[in-house]
A = this chain, B = another copy of it.
Amino acid sequence: MADAMWLTGPVIRAAAGSHVFCVDNATGETPVSLRLRGEIVDVFGRPLVSDPAAADVVLSIGRTSFDSDDAFRIREERGGGDGVRTFIEGNTAAAALYGLYAWVRRIAAGQSCADYESAPQQSLRMIDHWDQVDGSVERGYAGESIFFGDLDSNEHIDYRYFPARPGADPFRGDMARIEAYARMLASVGVNALALNNVNVRGRAADLMVQPLLGRVAQIARVFSGFGIKLFLAINFAAPKKLGGLSTADPLDPAVRAWWSDVIDGIYEAIPDFGGFLVKADAEGEPGPMQYGRDHKDGANMLAEPMGRHGGIVIWRAFVYNCKQDWRDRSTDRAKAAFENFMPLDGQFADNVVLQVKFGPMDFQVREPLTPLIGALEHTNLMVEFQITAEYLGHQIDVNYVLPQWLSMTGFDTKAPAELTGGDGRVRAIVPALSPNPRCSGYAGVANVGMDKNWTGNKLAQANLYGFGRMCWDGEATAESILDEWLALTFPEAGEAATKAIRGIMLTSNRTYENYCAPLGVGFMVVPGVHYGVSVNGYEYDRWGTYHFADRDGVGVDRTVATGSGYTAQYRPDNAAMYEDVDTTPDELLLFFHHVPYGHVLKSGKTVIQHIYDTHFAGAAAVDGYIEAWDSVRGSIGEADWANVAERLQRQRENAIAWRDQINTYFYRMSGVPDEHGRTIYA
């Protein structure tokens, strides 16, 4: 049986207590309200009565008038006798469901339930699965897809594609696992999910039509009960591939009619279908530009029929020239998203959302915020995060990523106050600047698979948990989210062990950064795999990710004065900050500037000495983790302990490889010895 993640038995039992529950529904019954009743009976195993007066936990639906239909309140009433009665209230059944699991969480974390009210910061709180119909998961590090594949298969082949499955049914059919997953997501407020990889190849293009659509509908029904709308990633060339048309030109009437029919068919099978997720004209995928049209033409063509059913179109902004020549210094991949989409600001339909990766490159451990966020003023916006640890250690290395994400969502874009109402931070402007705030939010690429513990490394569950919590409660801190997760996941751990795990996790993102590519330069990874060090792995490749290290210095000059001019894409205050080597934050120095190895950082260290110091420190920190983890043994379940212990040994190897290769590479380049005389292999 799969791991219970953060809805562990003791936590559920502690909340369930000896309570008698009532669902007091002032609205009509819906899939969610029925599921809510089911939760009490199936999960909490407690009596569910019809008369609110006979219950001491009342889930009240439709008797509030919160601004948000997802908002809930938890309050306690002291009754006539000695009892305390708890009310969990919201406009909708989904709100009550969110409130129910918030109540569980608050009990486990020792937080008061006397009077607690909460509304989500982001409207769309979405998980994107890069699952493939052959059972593989692109960038999946926890085994095969929970949706697709053979019942008993769980190969770990990482980024490669499986051989085509000849069988007729690509679905795994493990509905119990899907239900458990949906519950887990709903418990942290997730309300949208894309079922399949944005690279839509082979039979994946057929998911939106019968007969596969029928199987998709079965899965959608499970998610529906938990208030989660299902989305499908689609192939823009489907009118040709599936429809037998001679073109996929979005302005062609036959193409438009074909899509309209397909969308009508989907809503027949899945009445609350969420919509489409589209990667077009990117990294080789088809799109409207093949027909001389632009992204707006493509997105709006789909949005029209989708809108008739209340659906939306999520259009990815991850568009760049992936056949760049390393010899070409005039092109800068970091500029691509802004250049492609700023000219279209204001031209997308009301139910189109632009999904933008948080950084201008691709989910590195250190990137600046993409300048597109804060620049767009008339376009619905979703920020894309990657929960799966493609560049962050493949769920082998411990990497609790909330500190990094929250620094991104807390970054002040300097968007003008007259537009934002005064708060220019990412988390505030996503709803504030989206013309249709219902069509805005965050998306995170899933990190789960068929591994028993869902995420390969047990501690990687915290990132899935944290993503949901960050979408909802944007002002929560990385520490407070981690404390909740620890209380829910390891309720038995005790103070010392909890402190030890907390210490590892809170520093883990910085530790990973310390032993990776220095000072924001990024991408010194093994090509394709993206795990492990290869300083020059991408240096002479076509992906636009270069470090330009030579015997004198290192870094990418993205200034207006002497470089690619990327800094000009930011709002003026930020542009000025990044343009000037003296005001650029140390940790992003090599992202924006090419500097000599002797350049002195704000820390007082030279760049070369900083490289050495952080790499020795990063690897040493992992030794500390191993020691700390040893002290945890016996305080948590042995299987979980052993899982992480094994991963930490592999992380140690990885960290040492990074330390030594980075140090040697830059020593060979610079000729500058370490000030402290530590071992750098010549």
Residues of A in contact with B (beta carbons under 8 Å apart): 163, 326-327, 533-536, 540, 549-552, 657, 660-661, 664-665, 667-671, 681-682
Contacts and interface: CB of A to CB of B under 8 A. Distances in A.
Contacts of A549: 668
Nearest to A532: B540
A327 B550 CA distance: 22
Given A163-B163, A327-B681, A669-B669, A661 B540 contact: yes
Contacts of A660: 327, 540
Contact of A551 (B163, B533, B551): B551
Nearest to A667: B550
Contact of A533 (B540, B657, B668, B681): B540
16 contacts: A326-B681, A327-B660, A327-B681, A534-B536, A536-B665, A540-B660, A540-B661, A540-B664, A550-B668, A550-B682, A551-B551, A551-B668, A551-B670, A551-B671, A552-B671, A669-B669
A550 B661 contact: no
Contacts of A668: 549-551, 669
Contacts of A540: 533-534, 657, 660-661, 664
Identify which of A660, A668, A671 gathers the most chain B CB atoms within 10 Å of its CB: A668
Contacts of A670: 551
Contact of A535 (B163, B536, B550): B536
Contacts of A326: 681
A671 B550 contact: yes
A669 B550 CA distance: 6
A534 B326 CA distance: 13
A665 to B, nearest CB: 8
A551 B669 contact: yes
Contacts of A533: 540
A657 B541 CA distance: 10
Nearest to A656: B327
Given A540-B661, A550-B669, A551-B670, 11 more contacts: A326-B681, A327-B681, A533-B540, A535-B536, A536-B665, A540-B660, A549-B668, A550-B667, A551-B668, A551-B669, A668-B669
Contacts of A664: 540
A664 B329 CA distance: 14
A209 B671 CA distance: 60
A216 B326 CA distance: 50
A102 to B, nearest CB: 47
A535 B552 CA distance: 19
Identify which of A536, A540, A551, A669 gathers the most chain B CB atoms within 10 Å of its CB: A540
A660 B326 CA distance: 10
A428 B486 CA distance: 75
A104 to B, nearest CB: 46
Nearest to A549: B668
Contacts of A163: 163
A681 B329 CA distance: 9
Contacts of A534: 536, 540
A660 B549 CA distance: 16
Contacts of A665: 536
Contacts of A535: 536
A361 to B, nearest CB: 21
Contacts of A661: 540
A552 B671 CA distance: 8
Nearest to A328: B681
A47 to B, nearest CB: 54
Identify which of A536, A667, A669 gathers the most chain B CB atoms within 10 Å of its CB: A536
Contacts of A536: 534-536, 665
A326 B665 CA distance: 12
Contacts of A669: 550-551, 668-669
A661 B542 CA distance: 13
A330 to B, nearest CB: 12
3 interchain residue pairs of minimum CB distance: A550-B668, A551-B551, A327-B681
A523 to B, nearest CB: 14
A657 B670 CA distance: 25
A193 to B, nearest CB: 31
Nearest to A550: B668
Contacts of A657: 540
Nearest to A552: B671
A661 B325 CA distance: 11
A597 B328 CA distance: 27
A650 to B, nearest CB: 16
A328 to B, nearest CB: 9
